[in-house]
Amino acid sequence: MTQPRITLTSPAQVIAAIPAALRHVPTESIVVLAFTGKILTFAARFDRVDVVTQAHKMNDVLRRHGVESVVVVTIAERPGKKAAAVENLVIAGILATAVEVIGTYWVPTLAGPATAQDLDTLDTFDVDPIASEVAASTVEAGTVIEGSRTAIGDRYAHAEEVHPAEHADAAQVLEDLAAVVYADELPDSGLIARTAAVITALPVRDAMFRLPLYGSTSAHTVMATIARHTRAEARIQALSIAGWLCHRAGDGAAANIAYDAAEDEANSAGIATPQMLRLLRQAQDVAMSPDEIRTLDVDAETVRATTGAHLPGAPDRE
CATH at 26? 3.40.140
Residues 6+ apart with CB under 8 A from 64: 286, 287
Q: Residue 288, SS3?
A: coil
CB 298 within 8 A of CB 207: yes
Residue 5 is predicted with a pLDDT of 55
Bridge partners for 35 per DSSP: 40, 69
H-run or E-run covering 29: strand 29-36
Helix (H, G, I), strand (E, B) or coil at 310: coil
- Same domain assignment for residues 135 and 198: no
Contact status, residue 44 vs residue 58, Cβ threshold 8 Å: yes
pLDDT of residue 307: 98
Say which residues have a Cβ less than 8 Å from residue 269's Cβ, sequence separation at least 6: 231, 232, 233, 236
Q: What angle do CA 157, 295, 135 make, to 5 degrees?
A: 55
**Domain end: 96, 116, 147, which one?**
147
Do 28 and 77 touch, CB atoms closer than 8 A? yes
Name the H helices within 42-165: 51-64, 81-95, 133-140, 149-153
On whether residue 312 sits in a domain, the answer given is: no
Question: 169 with 75, same domain?
Answer: no
Q: 42 lies in a domain?
A: yes
**Element at 32 (helix H, strand E):** strand 29-36
Distance CA 261, CA 10 (A): 37
Which of 147, 172, 205 is a domain's end point? 147
Residues 241 and 283 in one domain: yes
Would residue 1 count as lying in a domain?
no
pLDDT at residue 234, as a whole number: 99
**Is 271 in contact with 232 (CB distance < 8 Å)?**
yes
Q: What is the pLDDT of residue 7?
A: 64
Task: Note whether residue 316 is domain-resident.
Answer: no
Both 280 and 189 in one domain: the answer is yes
Q: 59-90 burial, b if ≥16 CB within 10 A, otherwise e?
A: bebbeebebbbbbbbbbbeeeeeeebbebbbe
Same-domain check for residues 223 and 263: yes
CB count in 10 Å sphere of residue 142: 7
DSSP class of residue 30 equals E
Give average pLDDT by consecutive 10-residue segment, the chain, 318 residues.
62 94 96 91 92 94 93 95 95 98 98 97 97 85 90 97 98 99 98 99 98 96 99 99 96 96 98 97 90 90 98 88
Q: ∠ at Cα 21 (4, 35), nearest 5°?
A: 60
Q: Are residues 38 and 174 in the same domain?
A: no
Domain span at residue 78 reads: 6-147
Sign of the alpha-carbon torsion through 231, 311, 283, 246: negative
Residue 231, domain member (yes or no): yes
Report if residue 317 sits inside a domain: no
> What's residue 84's pLDDT?
95
CA distance 118 to 230: 47
Which residue, 165, 232, 160, 167, is CA-closest to 192? 165
The residues with which 72 forms a beta bridge, in sequence order, are 32, 104
Examine residue 313 and state whether it is found in any structural domain, yes or no: no
Provide the 10 A C-beta neighbour count for residue 45.
21
Regarding whether 72 and 30 lie in a shared domain, the answer is: yes
CA atoms within 13 A on the CB side of 35: 17
